[in-house]
Amino acid sequence: MNVIELFKFFIQSKSETPDDGGLLDFIENYLPDFEAIRIDIEDVKNLFLYKKFGDGDHLCFAGHVDVVPAGDGWDSNPYEAVEKDGFIYGRGTQDMKSGVAAFTQAVKEATAFNGTLSILLTSDEEGEATYGTVKVLEYLKENRMLPDSVVVAEPTCEDKFGDAIKVGRRGSINGYLTIKGKQGHAAYPEKAINPIHNLSKVLGDMAGVDIDNGDEFFAPSKFVVTDIRSGMQVTNVTPNELKMMFNVRNTTLTTQKEVTEFVDSHLKGLEYELRLTQGSYPFATDTDTKVVKTIDSAIESITGIKPKHSTAGGTSDARFVAQFGINVIEFGVKNDTIHSINERTTAKEVQDLHKVFKVLIDTWK
């Protein structure tokens, strides 16, 4: 198979989370010279393949084979890999079977490498990710097999292929706020404590406000209100309490401590309860590390473009990798139709991604 044939085969395998569509068995058999470790938990399938070529660093390519449901309204069967108007259409074309096909083929074609080369795959990235990549990393840590550098082949490019890599990601802090009041008659507001009125006095200084100033890689951590509700849906009773939810996509400059202090500084004197949860934590990979410099050079050699270093976007499994102290970056095809109807990419992008990964492997020193 060439990389496009492999890519189309992957698209035709229906692998909606946490189903792997049989792809992990296929990839294990496709790379027979690599040692295989399977870590399957409940319905989640995980595969780690590795081969030691020499005594140098351990470079790992990581990704997921699962996709979100296709949904209705496609112009073609989302699991047929239809070529039309210069594009290949199908669920997962961008997110991220293009990346998996590109690095699987590049690794298969590797004949020499200065170190250990590996692949980490899961069928649960689009879901809860509880039993996916993080479980493989835990196993690797216990067995002293953690890689030195990881490339996650998520779609990262913006306007043209090669224009951006991810060197970090923001975290995500969720807030659940309850402001207490005292229910009363609307005609006698002096006898009640109205939490809506109390919040309204400070909401303009909270909603959409930056908690920090950001830095060269991260935009500021912004306090984003996502829901406010209160009252009994009547006009003559003031509410007993108000509930508000918010989200902060936080940089490395802001933690739950700073969010708590931000809320307290505006609600001081009010009776309230605040609960915070955090699904992901921010990270930034040093741009002077080998993995960043080597992939920058590989991208430029294939595309003629020097990629920018970005931290934009939501979350990926790179967040788990970073928690283990591993230098991790993300690079893949353009990201403009992921999770959408008629998701698509071009054959050239997939071919060029394969070429970039081959150069990365060949020039890894």
- Mean pLDDT, residues 236-257 taken together: 97
- Candidate list 124, 125, 241, 349, residue with the active-site label: 125
pLDDT digits (tens, 9 = 90+) for 266-284: 999 999 999 999 988 999 9
Please state the pTM of the whole predicted model. Answer: 0.88
Among 87, 14, 119, residue whose Cα is nearest residue 345: 87
Among 157, 155, 5, 94, residue whose Cα is nearest residue 341: 94
**16 belongs to the catalytic site:** no
Q: How many residues does the chain have?
A: 365
pLDDT of residue 305: 97
pLDDT of residue 314: 80
Using the predicted structure, report yes or no on whether residue 138 has a pLDDT greater than 90: yes
Using the predicted structure, report yes or no on whether residue 37 has a pLDDT greater than 90: yes
Check: CB of residue 11 under 8 Å from CB of residue 79. yes
Residues 6 or more apart whose CB falls under 8 angstroms from that of 184 comprise: 191, 192, 193, 194, 237, 238
**33 belongs to the catalytic site:** no
**In whole numbers, what is the pLDDT of the chain averaged over residues?**
97
Residue at 342: amino acid letter = N
Distance (Å, rounded) from C-alpha 199 to C-alpha 205? 10
Among 288, 287, 291, 286, residue whose Cα is nearest residue 365: 291
| Chain-centre distance for alpha carbon 265 | 32
pLDDT digits (tens, 9 = 90+) for 165-188: 999 999 999 999 999 999 999 999
Using the predicted structure, report yes or no on whether residue 332 has a pLDDT greater than 90: yes
pLDDT of residue 120: 98
Count of beta carbons in the 10 Å neighbourhood of residue 347: 16
pLDDT digits (tens, 9 = 90+) for 352-365: 999 999 999 999 98
Using the predicted structure, report yes or no on whether residue 291 has a pLDDT greater than 90: yes
Residue 65 burial by CB count (10 A; 0-12/13-18/19+): exposed, middle or buried?
buried
- Mean pLDDT, residues 54-72 taken together: 97
pLDDT of residue 216: 86
- Mean pLDDT, residues 41-50 taken together: 97
Residues 6 or more apart whose CB falls under 8 angstroms from that of 186 comprise: 235, 236, 237, 238
Percent of the chain with pLDDT over 70: 100
- Candidate list 66, 154, 317, 330, residue with the active-site label: 66
DSSP-assigned letter for residue 220: P
